[in-house]
Structure 1
């Protein structure tokens, strides 16, 4: 069976150990992550097939590093090479855990060094975000709800598209809250502030259940692609002079929270980042010498 079909229909008796290990690994994921990792593993399987290698058995670190070099020579940026290796490294890690291979050949493979002082996403500053939210509400109530969920609650496009009316019906410790399932199937609960609730209720109308944000024309639930198109339309009407995506709104929520003085730990909770270093990439002012901790320490210790 060729690499291009290695991850297709689940027929265990017809699968090689490598194919079965790949299917087992991909079963941990769903949605966009599943599709992305399946694509990455297909590319690895194809490269192995072209070079006469089994994708799992007898793979050595040298093979992994040759594949990494191949990805770089194919024109991918260093950051894209690192991303393309996510599924390959996970595939070998779990194959080792499951006892399918004696050791993990990818664990010490050298990846390109990627230095990111800040997120490359083009976000919105405070005034641009305010205008974006205002314009969104003038289009339709659905555009308004989407903009507030992305730009205030920092939801991802797929998360905002999946919000149901029942998901924000509960009040917890005096706060109206939104329950959602985020990246990696991690559940999260976050408060809904009054301005956001007002927009969500306008979008809900007289409905009591079902998907919250609908396509303005057909009335069908939106998906990630619809969210992208809706954000693009809002940005055009708002005269934002650059490309804006749903992630730009999530980026704006996090960066503006940090600009407003929200502590890094609280901004991490808003973003639902597992690693605080990811949130740090959004801090536009961390290089500001006026905010350097040495000033506060000097005043505290030396009284100057």
Structure 2
């Protein structure tokens, strides 16, 4: 296991805690491991500041940690729920490995997560403006960045982590091989506009990252966020928080607004659970799309 994915420890001389963390993180790969380690780090730092030993924590400590996330850090319910899930999974592994007799997180109630995602996707006109700004930008990576996030629906780590060698063809389509969450690989077809944007970014390079920063190095999520904020300013697009996930959200909401079937959108977004896709559907309560009308039209000859 890469040592950089191990969370910060309260006591470097605590072999049991180190073993428990390593055993739990060994269950994950790639970005899932890194994100799990990051969430565990938050809890370990919280414990350090309060002289709490993680392997001796009680349910009350986990409850206090939950309240701290909600009332001091003011995190969104979905973020709080995710971090509690990560912590519960860690303690469950400790029970499986007989490090603990029971999990202190077992009976902690998770916060209610609203059905609709709090992240607002761009409107159709705002999305067009961002695409135009990227296409007209002097930085040849901008259009590829916007296209990969907004027209392919890639997560930011997928877009920035993809190399030129991932381009290819499959069943008559030009495709991009994407290494996604859960160490899963997907073949994503490239519409012509996205293909042109990527070709513009890579020029005549045959290897290396598709997206580069201003120093010619692989673009990271921080550089991607800065470029998107700059494009939003140049396009006069105002949004509370402009970040890469806004474009992935826009990818899903625009598909749903265009009438693409929910199942097809789920497949395109590579969501494991259709409920995740439904959270993005801002028109879910639009009665114009109610399935009763489709059924009535189908049975019109009998009615």
- In the TM superposition, what are the counterparts of 1:227-266 in structure 2 within 5 Å? 227-242=224-239, 243-266=241-264
> Residues 22 and 41 of structure 1 are in contact (CA less than 8 Å); yes or no, is this contact kept in structure 2?
no
Rounded Cα–Cα distance in structure 2 between residues aligned with 1:226 and 1:78 = 24
Partner in structure 2 of residue 144 of structure 1: 143
Partner in structure 2 of residue 226 of structure 1: 223
Q: TM-score, normalised by structure 1?
A: 0.85
Shift of residue 101, structure 1, vs aligned partner: 2.2
> Residues 129 and 237 of structure 2 are in contact (CA less than 8 Å); yes or no, is this contact kept in structure 1?
no
> Residues 118 and 281 of structure 1 are in contact (CA less than 8 Å); yes or no, is this contact kept in structure 2?
yes
1:127 matched to 2:129? no
> Residues 78 and 113 of structure 1 are in contact (CA less than 8 Å); yes or no, is this contact kept in structure 2?
no
Rounded Cα–Cα distance in structure 1 between residues aligned with 2:159 and 2:235 = 21
Give aligned pairs, total. Answer: 291
SS at match of 1:190: strand
> Residues 7 and 37 of structure 2 are in contact (CA less than 8 Å); yes or no, is this contact kept in structure 1?
no
Partner in structure 2 of residue 3 of structure 1: none
Rounded Cα–Cα distance in structure 1 between residues aligned with 2:71 and 2:245 = 29
| Alignment CA distance shift 1:71-1:199 (3 Å) | closer
- Tell me which of 211, 214, 227 is aligned to 1:213: 211
Unpaired segments ≥5 residues, structure 2: 1-5
- Deviation sequence 1:98-149 (CA, Å, 0-9, x none): 23223333233212223x2322223212222122112101112211111100
Q: TM-score, normalised by structure 2?
A: 0.85
Rounded Cα–Cα distance in structure 2 between residues aligned with 1:69 and 1:218 = 42
Rounded Cα–Cα distance in structure 2 between residues aligned with 1:127 and 1:66 = 44
- In the TM superposition, what are the counterparts of 1:1-304 in structure 2 within 5 Å? 7-8=7-8, 14-27=13-26, 28-31=28-31, 32-46=34-48, 50-51=51-52, 54-57=53-56, 59-77=57-75, 79=77, 80-114=79-113, 116-139=114-137, 140-168=139-167, 170-215=168-213, 217-242=214-239, 243-300=241-298, 303-304=302-303
